[in-house]
């Protein structure tokens, strides 16, 4: 973990004028399929080419190729070019990037780790970015075929990916289990419906209370729409900056809506509204800097983790997901030709779980404050206008977007952080829970079959989840009681895995591919334990995404 | 949603024996507790584990439970739900306790039930230390038992007491604005305790410590002409309210709910204003000179609790441990988590120091269901009257009447050791 002064991490403001001058329009992909061109290098040769949809691909094939190939699906990429130095959440810029990726963040050590084992490592850059699940599955299917044609000794194919790529990998395994020997799914996106609800709920709630001038929907086409979205992003960042400054005093952003101002006048601190947004959308209140159990020494040791830490953890996590949320929302409106999200009938009061109402009661400032906040979200409140989906876009979304079922058809290893702000642990929890039901049914069927045959053949468990966990406590405070910002805390953040985590994950999926079953022996448990902050645990429960529970 | 315990294939070999139970060996039984040992919410509660251990040590010195010695693993959660989750996970996975006993707090127990999933895993959480009525839901909390009367019962009984004792007087209410207070509001409403309030103030948890806030409450109560002041909050809320009242020369009849009536934490020396306040208990007064349970527990406390003062906390801790031992005995010669829970299902009427009955049965996981009322003396002890004659009341969490209890307490087993 790395620590810096929390005060020095204030969010920078966005220069929208500069952004307007530097926006670049994305060029549409237009490519024909090409056979792999290999350089013949040893000990690992590199082959490149393009799939029929124009996706650039790369293959690294060791001379010791043993017939096992991994195909990587990368995470969410932007469809809007954001130049470096303009947005604090993208300090190095966030350009449209079609380059092929074959491992997490192109990690050369992990690529070598695989090729040293005689495993070929391939992947593409995909033909389109952002929410590209349907396109990416097609690309991957084609790419597997291209590889097999070039390297006919291929026996085992292992698909893996994280974030958006995790969802792509899961979709590929659901739709084409015949192509795969194993799957490795890291912090996957949920289905579009669940994922968009998670992100847009958070954006809508922030807009509704803290700055109703935020557009959020109905962006114009092209660069003008990109500009509107980036202006929104700037406003969200200003809100976060204001909330951070007002954590102690309870002050609300000056841009707050009439409803927000009424809540402020009622004595409800902005930190309670911020925490409420986190609880309603399902964002973890535990973050890289805030463990929720440690307070500054002295009289506030108990009160601080109850009243302040959950709000600050929520804020830090929202900051971590904000860019993805807005880029994703904008991208989908472009792809669907309008607004496909609809919260006109959402009962937000029902989205506050009974457990959250109790556990976070002090942070939410009590039942009266909770009721007051929820009242302002009533659909009849004209100051909280709902988002009404556009029929054509909703229909297009429903008919064209693949919704992951969570069904496990090939041996699959999953890995996710306990407090990932972008893809909450509940995404994997749901898949795990659903699989437990399937597995129980499979066992029952095996028992029934045994009654006829006289021999019981136990089914093999096809899902193993590796949970990346936090330390027990990690928050730190200056002598004056102010919190210290901490980055990289295990179990928090997005795709925050150590090399040991990745290697354990890789070994697990390769073992499953080789043996046809996942490893459950002592050696596997030992390996997971030694990776640190990693556990196989089906006893801790994480709440499902709100889409499924409301 | 379905979730199961870790598959057998990934469990260590020793866990596979059908004859063994987690936390139980041929010579020992391991139990665990999580509660605040440090921090602002720890006062009094941090004395419970030592008292429980003292009673277990006494039992161990007299042969244990069917030859097994009981140990108690104690973890400090600072009254923080996230820490309680971590502690409970550790108690189960690392310390490998058979059962959790006496875990404190509504929020903590709810958080643990949800995240650690004790119910589906069949892990007993006995005598949860909260009066929130929701824990009586056996479907939602199938492996939990309560011990305190619910806050709804408590409010109903306060309602009757106030109407009977102070007829025609203006009553006012300060309550915590969460599950705790929600229960109180139900207990006082028309269909339950039916007590009206001239002034009713809800305070968000933690706000009692904010300078000036308790003064604003007292100002409203005083302006409302309150004559009977009920405080249904935590001890710090009582303390700061009483101090503010003294400053404002607000002198109602004080009626303190069970949670906020820890007069020892309030320190009568610092707040003499509270002497004579009314409160309630389901256990006998710790200064009762004739109660056989008090005498026996006091003796054990002297010998096994490192000279700690015998106060209400020591009594509660020992009484809880005393019932635990009986439940373990009722669970059979080789107790398991399942047989331990079954002991409660069978409706075992465990003798205890309580002056009202325990109500465990196949359909009820509810512990005590009543209180007697008394006043605080100058040493901060709650007494029923000069003769230590108790009038316990009993009721339910529904709309049943509050009635005088006819319960006849069982005699203390010889030497305080259950048969």
Res A86: pLDDT: 66
d(CA B385, CA B391): 10
| Interchain CB distance below 8 Å, A537 and B6 | yes
Boundary of a domain, candidates A350, A379, A399:
A399
Mean predicted confidence (pLDDT) in B77-92: 95
Environment class of B209 (CB within 10 Å of its CB; exposed 0-12, middle 13-18, buried 19+): middle
Query: What is the count of structural domains for chain A?
Result: 2
Contacts of B2 in chain A (CB under 8 A): 433, 436-437, 440
Q: What is the mean pLDDT of chain A?
A: 91
Instruction: Count Cβ neighbours within 10 Å for each residue of A190-205 and write b for 16 or more, e otherwise.
Output: bbbbbbbbbbbbbbbb
User: Which of B13, B81, B183 is the best substitution to test chain A (most A C-beta atoms within 10 A)?
Assistant: B81
Same domain, A185 and A197: no
Report the distance separating Cα B90 and Cα A506, nearest Å: 29
In a domain, A409, yes or no: yes
* Averaged pLDDT for residues B20-41: 94
Of B3, B36, B209, the CB nearest to A538: B3
Mutate: best of A279, A292, A297, A539, partner B, most B CBs <10 A: A539
Q: How confident is residue B43, by pLDDT bands cut at 50, 70 and 90?
A: confident
**Which range is least confidently modeled, A49-58, A403-412, B333-342?**
A403-412
**pLDDT for residue A20 is more than 70:** no
Question: Where does a domain end: A399, A415, A445?
Answer: A399
Q: Is the pLDDT of residue A12 over 50?
A: no
B17 at the A interface (CB within 8 A)? no
Indicate whether B4 pLDDT > 70.
no
On whether any CB of chain B is under 8 Å from the CB of A541, the answer is yes
Question: Residue A539's pLDDT band (boundaries 50, 70, 90)?
Answer: confident
Q: Is residue A29 one of the residues assigned to a domain?
A: no
Q: What are A313's two structure tokens?
A: 């953890």
The pLDDT of residue A27: 36
Q: Which of A399, A429, A464 is the last residue of a domain?
A: A399
Instruction: Provide the mean pLDDT of chain B.
Output: 92
Q: Which domains does chain B have, with CATH numbers?
A: 9-149+289-368 (3.40.50.2300), 152-281 (3.40.50.2300)
Q: Per residue in A279-328, pLDDT tens? A: 999 999 999 999 999 999 888 888 999 999 999 999 999 999 998 899 89
| Domain assignment present for A25 | no
With beta carbons under 8 A apart, name residues in chain A contacting B116: 539-541
Lowest mean pLDDT among A49-63, A493-507, B70-84, B343-357: B343-357
Chain B interface includes A365 (CB < 8 A): yes
Compute the nearest-CA separation of B407 from chain A (Å): 35
Strand partners, B374: B279
Q: Are residues A67 and A129 in the same domain?
A: yes
For residue B3, is pLDDT > 90? no
- Residues B235-283 have pLDDT tens digits of 889 989 998 998 999 999 999 999 988 756 666 565 666 788 999 999 9
Residues A153 and A215 in one domain: no
ipTM (interface pTM): 0.89
Residues A502, A476 within the same domain: yes
Examine the domain organization and report whether A242 and A268 are in the same domain.
yes
Q: Does A425 lie in the same domain as A312?
A: no
**What tens digit of pLDDT does each residue of A234-289 get?**
999 999 999 999 999 999 999 999 999 999 999 999 999 999 999 999 999 999 99
Same domain assignment for residues A358 and A440: no
The nearest CA of chain B is from the CA of A119 a distance in Å of: 28
For chain B, what's the residue count? 419
The phi-psi region of residue B218 (left if phi > 0; otherwise alpha if psi is between -120 and 50; otherwise beta) is alpha
Identify all chain A residues contacting B1, using CB atoms and an 8 Å cutoff: 430, 433, 541, 544
Indicate the Cα dihedral angle B118, B120, B122, B127, nearest 10°. 40
> What's the domain range around A172?
37-190+405-549
Note whether B6 contacts A: Cβ–Cβ < 8 A.
yes
User: Which among B4, B36, B106 has CB closest to A538?
Assistant: B4
pLDDT digits (tens, 9 = 90+) for B353-391: 999 999 999 999 999 999 999 998 888 889 999 999 999
Mean pLDDT of A499-517: 98
Q: How far, in Å, are A14, A67, A83, A90 from residue A21 at the CA level?
A: 13, 50, 10, 17
Query: What does the pLDDT read at residue A222?
Result: 85
Residues of B in contact with A544 (CB under 8 A): 1
A293 has a chain B CB within 8 A of its CB? yes
3-state secondary structure of A197: helix
Closest approach of chain B CAs to the CA of A353, in angstroms? 11
Instruction: Examine residue A32 and state whether it is found in any structural domain, yes or no.
Output: no
Q: What CATH number is associated with residue A119?
A: 3.40.50.1820
- Can you tell me the mean pLDDT for A152-172? 97
Q: Which of residues 213-272 of B touch A (CB under 8 A)?
A: none
Q: What pLDDT band is residue A400 in, cutting at 50, 70 and 90?
A: confident
pLDDT-derived band at B81, boundaries 50, 70, 90: very high
A223-236 burial, b at 16+ Cβ within 10 Å, e below that, comes to eebbbbbbbbbbbb
Per-residue model confidence as pLDDT tens digits over A208-237: 999 999 999 999 988 888 889 989 999 999
Residue A17 lies in a domain: no
| Of A152, A143, A179, A180, residue with least CA distance to A48 | A143
Measured CA to CA in angstroms, residue B370 lies from B157, B178, B388, B410 at distances of 8, 23, 17, 16
Q: Give the residue ranges of DSSP H helices in B269-404.
A: 292-304, 312-330, 337-345
* CA pair distance B79, A219, nearest whole angstrom: 47
A444 in B contact zone (CB under 8 Å):
no
- pLDDT at position A511 is 98
Contact of B14 with chain A, judged by CB distance below 8 Å, is answered with no
- Closest in B12, B39, B204 to A362, CB measured: B204
| CA of B122 vs chain A CAs: smallest distance (Å) | 12
């Amino acid at each position: 973990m790395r620590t810096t002064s929390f005060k020095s991490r204030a969010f920078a403001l966005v220069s929208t004028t500069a952004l307007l001058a530097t926006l670049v329009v994305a060029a549409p992909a237009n490519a024909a399929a090409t056979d792999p061109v290999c350089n013949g290098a040893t000990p690992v040769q590199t082959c490149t080419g393009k799939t029929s949809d124009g996706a650039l691909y790369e293959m690294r094939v060791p001379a010791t190729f043993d017939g096992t190939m991994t195909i990587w699906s990368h995470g969410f990429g932007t469809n809007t070019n954001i130049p470096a130095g303009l947005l604090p959440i993208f300090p190095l810029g966030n350009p449209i990037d079609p380059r092929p990726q074959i491992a997490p963040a192109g990690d050369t050590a992990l690529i070598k780790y695989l090729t040293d084992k005689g495993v070929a490592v391939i992947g593409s850059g995909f033909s389109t970015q952002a929410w590209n699940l349907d396109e990416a599955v097609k690309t991957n299917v084609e790419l597997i075929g291209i590889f097999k044609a070039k390297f006919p000794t291929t026996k085992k194919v292992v698909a893996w990916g994280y974030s958006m790529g995790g969802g792509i990998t899961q979709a590929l395994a659901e739709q084409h289990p015949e192509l795969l020997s194993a799957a490795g799914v890291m912090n996957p996106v949920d289905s579009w419906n669940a994922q968009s609800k998670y992100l847009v709920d958070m954006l809508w709630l922030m807009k509704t209370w803290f700055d109703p001038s935020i557009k959020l929907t109905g962006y114009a086409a092209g660069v003008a729409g990109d500009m509107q979205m980036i202006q929104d992003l700037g406003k969200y960042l200003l809100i976060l900056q204001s909330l951070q400054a007002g954590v102690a005093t309870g002050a609300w952003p000056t841009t707050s809506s009439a409803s927000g101002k009424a809540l402020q006048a009622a004595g409800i601190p902005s930190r309670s509204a911020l925490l409420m947004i986190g609880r309603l959308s399902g964002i973890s209140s535990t973050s890289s800097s805030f463990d929720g159990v440690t307070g500054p020494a002295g009289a506030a040791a108990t009160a601080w983790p109850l009243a302040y830490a959950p709000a600050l953890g929520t804020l830090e996590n929202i900051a971590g997901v904000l860019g993805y949320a807005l880029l994703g929302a904008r991208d989908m409106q472009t792809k669907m030709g309008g607004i496909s999200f609809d919260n006109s009938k959402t009962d937000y009061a029902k989205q506050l779980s009974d457990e959250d109402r109790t556990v976070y009661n002090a942070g939410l400032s009590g039942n009266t404050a909770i009721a007051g906040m929820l009242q302002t979200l009533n659909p009849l409140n004209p100051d909280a206008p709902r988002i009404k989906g556009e029929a054509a876009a909703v229909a297009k979304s429903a008919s064209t977007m693949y919704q992951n079922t969570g069904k496990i058809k090939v041996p699959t290893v999953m890995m996710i952080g306990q407090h990932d702000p972008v893809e909450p642990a509940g995404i994997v929890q749901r898949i795990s829970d659903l699989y437990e039901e399937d597995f129980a049914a499979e066992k029952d069927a095996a028992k029934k079959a045994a009654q006829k045959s006289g021999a019981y053949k136990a089914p093999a468990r096809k899902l193993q989840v590796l949970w990346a966990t936090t330390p027990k406590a990690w928050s730190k405070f200056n002598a004056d009681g102010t919190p210290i910002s901490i980055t990289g805390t295990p179990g928090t953040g997005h795709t925050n895995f150590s090399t040991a985590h990745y290697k354990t994950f890789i070994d697990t999926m390769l073992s499953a591919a080789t043996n046809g079953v996942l490893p459950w022996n002592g050696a596997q448990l030992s390996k997971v334990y030694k990776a640190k902050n990693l556990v196989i645990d089906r006893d801790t429960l994480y709440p499902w995404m709100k889409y499924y529970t409301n | 949603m379905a979730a199961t315990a870790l598959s057998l294939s990934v469990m260590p070999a020793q866990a596979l024996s059908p004859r063994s139970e987690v936390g139980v060996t041929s010579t020992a039984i391991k139990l665990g507790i999580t509660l605040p040992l440090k921090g602002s919410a720890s006062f009094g509660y941090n004395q419970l584990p030592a008292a429980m251990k003292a009673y277990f040590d006494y039992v161990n010195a007299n042969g244990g439970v069917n030859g097994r010695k009981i140990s108690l693993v104690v973890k400090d959660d600072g009254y923080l739900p996230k820490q309680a989750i971590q502690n409970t996970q550790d108690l189960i996975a690392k310390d490998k306790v058979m059962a959790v006993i006496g875990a404190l707090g509504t929020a903590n127990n709810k958080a643990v039930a949800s995240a650690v999933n004790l119910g589906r895993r069949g892990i007993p959480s006995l005598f949860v230390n909260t009066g929130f009525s929701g824990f009586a839901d056996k479907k939602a909390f199938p492996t939990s038992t309560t011990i305190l009367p619910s806050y709804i019962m408590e409010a109903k009984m306060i309602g009757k007491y106030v109407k009977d004792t102070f007829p025609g007087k203006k009553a006012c209410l300060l309550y915590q604005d969460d599950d705790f207070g929600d229960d109180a509001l139900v207990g006082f409403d028309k269909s339950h305790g039916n007590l009206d309030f001239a002034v009713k103030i809800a305070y968000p948890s933690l706000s009692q410590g904010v300078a000036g806030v308790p003064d604003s409450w007292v100002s409203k109560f005083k302006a409302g002409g309150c004559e009977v002041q009920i405080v249904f909050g935590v001890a710090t809320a009582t303390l700061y309210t009483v101090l503010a009242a003294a400053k404002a020369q607000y002198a109602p009849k004080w009626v303190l709910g069970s949670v906020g009536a820890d007069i020892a934490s309030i320190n009568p020396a610092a707040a003499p204003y509270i002497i004579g306040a009314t409160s309630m208990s389901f256990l006998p007064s710790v200064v009762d000179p004739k109660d056989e349970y008090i005498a026996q527990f006091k003796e054990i406390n002297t010998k096994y609790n490192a000279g700690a003062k015998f106060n209400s906390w020591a009594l509660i801790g020992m009484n809880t441990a005393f019932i635990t031992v009986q439940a373990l005995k009722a669970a059979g010669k080789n107790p398991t988590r399942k047989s331990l829970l079954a002991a409660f299902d069978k409706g075992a009427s465990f003798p205890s120091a309580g002056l009202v009955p325990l109500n465990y049965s196949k359909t009820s996981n509810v512990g005590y269901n009543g209180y007697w009322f008394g006043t605080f003396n100058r040493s901060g002890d709650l007494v029923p009257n000069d003769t230590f004659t108790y009038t316990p009341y009993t009721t339910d969490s529904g709309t049943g009447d509050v009635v005088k209890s006819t319960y006849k307490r069982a005699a203390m087993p010889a030497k305080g050791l259950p048969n």
